[in-house]
Structure 1
Amino acid sequence: MLTISRMKSLMSLSASPFSLHRSKAIRFGVFSLASESSSNLIPTFLQSPISIHTKPRLIPPKSPIFSIHNRSLQSESSRSSSDGEIHVIVGPMFAGKTTTLIRRIQSESENGRSVAIIKSNKDTRYRLDSIVTHDGMKLPCSALANLSSFRQKLGPDAYDKLDVIGIDEAQFFDDLYDFCRKAADHDGKTIIVAGLDGDYLRRSFGSVLHIIPLADSVTKLTARCEICGNRAFFTLRKTEEIQTELIGGADVYMPVCGSGGKGTWGGLMDSDDCSILDPNDPNYDSSEDCENSSAIRKTADFDEFRKKTTIIVEEYFANDDVVSTANELRELGMPVYNYYFVKKLVSTAMDRNDKEKEMAGVLLSALYANIIDSQQVYRGFTKLPQAEGLLLDLLKEAAEEGLINTSQISKGFGRMIDMVDDLSLDIPNARAMLRSLISKAASEGWLCASSLKSLSVAPVKPSLEDSVAKIFKLKAQSIIQEYFLTGDILEVSSCLESENTTCSAELNAIFVKRLITLVMDRKNREKEMASVLLSSLCFPADDIVNGFTMLIESADDTALDNPVVVEDLAMFVARAVVDEVLAPQHLEEIATQFSGPDSIGSKVLQMAKSLLKARLSGERILRCWGGGGSSKPGWAVEDVKEKIEKLLEEYESGGDAREACRCIKELGMPFFHHEVVKKALVTVIEKKNDKLWSLLDKGFSSGLITMYQMTKGFGRLGDSLDDLALDVPDAEKQFIHYVDKARTIGWLDNSFTFNKSGDGKENVICL
C-alpha cells in the first residue's frame, strides 16, 4: 500500500509548467495537497500555455512488472537520490518552443547546474553550432544526426558531469524515446525536450509524442493564428510539397487555429478574414464559444476596414495627398489588417496608368516602417498572386456543385478566346496564360476543351514573298545611306510610307534590322543618328521587337566582322528602352526566343539589363554615342544649357510659370534639372530678384524638380561661389540665406552642406 508520503511524491505542489513534481492528470486543472494532514484537494486552473502533468509512467510492453526500473514505481528504500526528469515542450511553428527551451536552460545554468544542448543537423536555417529563435535569441549547441552519438562525441567524463540536457527540434530524432529513457532513468539527467507534436497534416510528427508516457511534465504552447488572430495550435504549410520533413520558416509555414475543422466553417475565399462559429456545423462544440466569441466581431472589423480602405485608396489616387492618406490609415487603428491596405493599393494601381503606379510606390515608401511594418507589407504582396488559384478553385467548386453549368463555363472561356488579342496589348503573354488555364481546367474535369474554339499560338499573318522582301532590303539600304548624309528624318518617313504602303509588320522589322546592321561598322555619329531615327519612326512596338530579335539571331554572322557585336547590340537595346522605343517588358519577350546562358542573345540582353540598372543609367545611355547626332532627341550638353538659359530669361522678363515648367519638361532630361536650379540661383543672387525663386518653388511643388536635383543644383553653386563672388561680393552670404530658406520649406535635407571650390573636395557629385 502506498503511504501518504509516497502519494505526495506523485502530486505537484506547484502549478508551474516546469514543475519538477508530478500531479494527477485532471483536465483543465492541476490539484495538489495543501498539507500532510489535509485531505482537501485545492484546484488550480491553468492559463496558456497549457501544462499537463502526467501520471506515473506506463509499463512498456513485454517487460516483467517486477523487473521494471521506473522511478515512479520504485519503493521508498530503493529509490535513487539522483533520479532524472523529462519535461516536454510542444506546439506549432512560431509558438516559442526554442525560446522557452533557451530560458529554461539559462535558468538551470544560473542555478549552478551543468547544461548542454543538442539539435538536429538537418536544421540548417541559421547556424549548426547554435540554436536560434525566430527573434534572434541563441545558445551554443551540438548538431547531431542521432542522439545515441552524443555521449561518445562529448566524452564519457564530460557526459557524466552533465546535469541538464536540452533537445531542440526533437521531432527529427528517431532514437528520442530510447535516449530520453536511458538518460533520465539510468544516468539521472534532467532532459528538456522541445519540438513539433504534429506535422502540416496534423498527424504525429517523429517520436515526440512517444515520450509523453515518460514525461514528468508536458507544456503545450500556442502561437497566434495568421488568418484570424486567435490562438493557433497547428502548423499550415503554404507550399505544394508533400514530404513530411520540409525545413523552412515563415516562407513555408504559418501557425493557424482549427478553422474549418472544429466548430467553424471556412469559405473557399475566406483567406483574409477568420472563420465564424456556426452552431449548425456537425463538428460544433459549444465549449469553444467562449474561446472564439470574438470571431464575429473580428470579421465585422475586417469588413469595415476593407470598406474604408477602398475609399482611402480611391481618394489618394484622386488628390495625391500622402500625409492625409497616412493620417487616415493611422486613425483606423487596425494595424493587424494593414496587409490588406497594401494588397488593395497595389492591385488597384495595377489596373491604372503609370501615374497611379508611381503614386502607389511613393505612398508605400512613405508608410513603410512608420505606419505599416515589414511583415504586413510582405504579407500584402504575398497575397497578390494567390488570387488566381483561389478563383480557379471557386470556378471548379461552382461547376462541381452545379451553380454554373458546363455550357456557361464553355461560353465564358470562349469569350476570353475572342478577346485575347485585345488583352495581349496590355499583357504580352496573355495567349500563353489563357492556354495554360484552359489546360488546367480541362485536366481537372470541369471544362470541355473540345467545345472551345482553337487557340492558335499567334494570329496567322500573311506571308511575305521573298522577292518583295529582297527589293525592300535594297531600297531600305539606299534610304538609310542617304539619311546618314542628310540627317533628314522627315524624308526617311516619307520614303518608308511610299515603299511600305500596306504598313507590313515584316517590312518594318526588316528596316530596323537593316538600319542597325549598316551602322555597326560606322562611327558614333551614325550610331547616334540611327538611335534618333528609331525613336522618331512611328513603328509599332511589336515590329521593333521583331527587328531586334532578327538582328540578334544573325549576330553570329555579324561577329565575324565585328568582334564587339554583343556590346554594340546591348547598347542599342538599352538606348531603345531609354528612348521609350521599347518597354522593359519587351526585353523579357525577346529573351524567350533565346535559350542557354552562353548564347549571344542571352549575353546581349543580360548586358543591356546591366546597363539599365546602373546608377544614372538614363543620362549615360542617352550619351552613349556622344550626342549631337541631329537636332532631334539626343541633345548635346551645351545645347541643353543654352536652352535652359533662354527659357529662364524669357520667364524672368514676364513669362508664365506654367509655360516655363512645360518647356523644362519637354527637354526630356529630368536627370539634368540641377542645371535649372543652379542657373536660377545664380540669377537670383546676381540680380537680387526672387521671381526665379518662385519658378523653382513651382517646379518643386509639382514634382518636376526633385529634392535630389535641388541638392545637386545647390551643391554645384556652392562649389563655384568663389567665381561668383568676383562679380557679387556678398554671394556667399546670399547663398547661405537661400540654403536656410530652402531647408525651411523642404527643398533641402537638414544634412546638406557645401564646400567652396578652394576649400576641399566637392560635397555633391554632378554629372
Structure 2
Amino acid sequence: MATECQAWLNDNPVENNPLSSSLLSSDDEKVETLNIDNEINGNWITATSSTIHEARVKAKAKRRLRKNSSRDSGRGDSLSDNGESLRAVLVPPTSPKGKLLDRKSRSGKGRGLPKKGGAGGKGVWGSPGEVYDLEEIDVKDPNYDEDQENCVYETVVLPLDEGVFEKTVTPIVQEYFEHGDTNEVAELLGELNLGEMKSGVPMLAVSLALEAKASHRELTSRLLTDLCGTLLSTDDVEKSFDKLLRELPELVLDTPGAPQLVGQFIARAVGDKILSRDYIESYKGKVDCDHARAALDRAAVLLKMSKRGLWGTGGGQLPVKQLIKEINLLLKEYLLSGDVAEAETCLQELEVPHFYHEFIYEAVVMVLESTGETTFKMVLQLLKFLWESSVITVDQMRRGFERVYVEIPEINIDVPHAYSVLEQFVEQSFNAGVINKKLRDLCPCRGRKRFVSEGDGGRFKLESY
C-alpha cells in the first residue's frame, strides 16, 4: 500500500496536486490557505473564513432579491449591497380581500375569472343557459319500477271544511264589494278545492249582503249570475237558498228585514234564470216558518210586478247622467208625497254623499222654475230637515248654492223672475238656518233700469243694489 501511494505521488507532483496541501505541516497549511484564491459569484476573493462567510451572505441576499423582485415588487424587506435590511414602501393591494385571497394568477397569466365560467365544482348547477337532456331510464337498474313510468304528479289541494271555508271565502266576497270584478272572484274560488261546500258560496255572499248596502246586494246578485254555469250549478244555488230559508229565524236577529231581502234575492235569481220558476211553487203548503213564508210571498209579488233589477245601482256604479235623473225623480216624488223621511231614505240609498251638491242645485232650480208657493215651501222644508239631520254637510250645501249663483244669468233667460225668486229663497234659507250670512251675501242681484233727472236728456243707468 505504501509503495502504491509513493508511486502516485511521483506521478503527481505536489505543486500541481491540490491534495498536496493536506500533506504540509500545520504552519505551512495556514500560510498556504491564505494564498489560495477562490471565485464566488464571479468575484475573486482571498479565501479567509470571514471573507467566505461575507460572500455567502451577499450571494444569498442577491438570490432572494432576484426571486422576489417579480412577485413582491414594492413589498417586504430587501437587502442592500452591504447586507443591510431595507424597508420598501408598502403598496396597498388592489383586491379588497388582499393578495392572499386574490384569484388572479401569480404568474401574471389569465384574467382572474373563476374556472370554467362558474360551471364547475361541487353543488353547481352549470353555466347559465345550459340545458340538460332528460335522463334516460335504465331498465336494468335494480330500483327500476315499471309502474312509475306513466305517473303524473299533481299538487293536491285538500277540500275545505266548514270552518276554514268561511274564513277563506269571506275576505274574497268583502273585497268584491269594493272592486266589483266577478272574474277575479271566480279565479280565486277556482284555486280552492270547495268540494261539497260549493253550495255554501251563494249563502255566504247573500248573508254578507243582508247587512250591507243596496249596491252591494246588486253586486251579489250579479256575482251569483256570473258564477252559475261555470263554478256553480243550478242545484248548488237551490241548495243554498233552501238553507237560507231554514236559517231565516237566526238571520232576523241581526237583520230584521231579512225575510223581505231574501225574497228579493229569490225573485232576482228567478229573473236571472239561475233558479227555476217552479222553485217558489214547490214550497206551497210545505212551509211552517213565518219568516220563510214571508220571503216566498215577497218573491212571488215581485215576480208578478216584473221588476228584474230590484236593488238598483248606487254610488260609483251609476254614471253622472243617471244620477242626475235619479235625483230629479226623487224630488218630483217628494213634491207629490210630501214625505221628508222617505226622501231622506231615497237620497241615502243613492250612496253618493260627495254628489249631494247636485241635489241642492236641482232643488233650488226647481224652486226658480215653479210658479206657485207650494214648491217654494216644500223644498225649503226638505232642505231644513236634511240640514238638521246632518245628511247634507256644510260644504255640499255651499257648493250647491254657489252653482246656482254662477248659472243664474243663463237660468234668467228662460225664467224672467229668477233673480227675485232666488233672493227670496236665499233670505228664507238664511232665516231657517240652512245657510250662513256669508253665503247669503254672495247672492247675485239683477241689474235694474231707472231713469235719471230730465237734465240728463232722458238717459237711463244700470245700477245693482
Higher helix share: 2
TM-score scaled to structure 1, two decimals?
0.20
TM-score scaled to structure 2, two decimals?
0.32
Bigger Rg, which one = 2
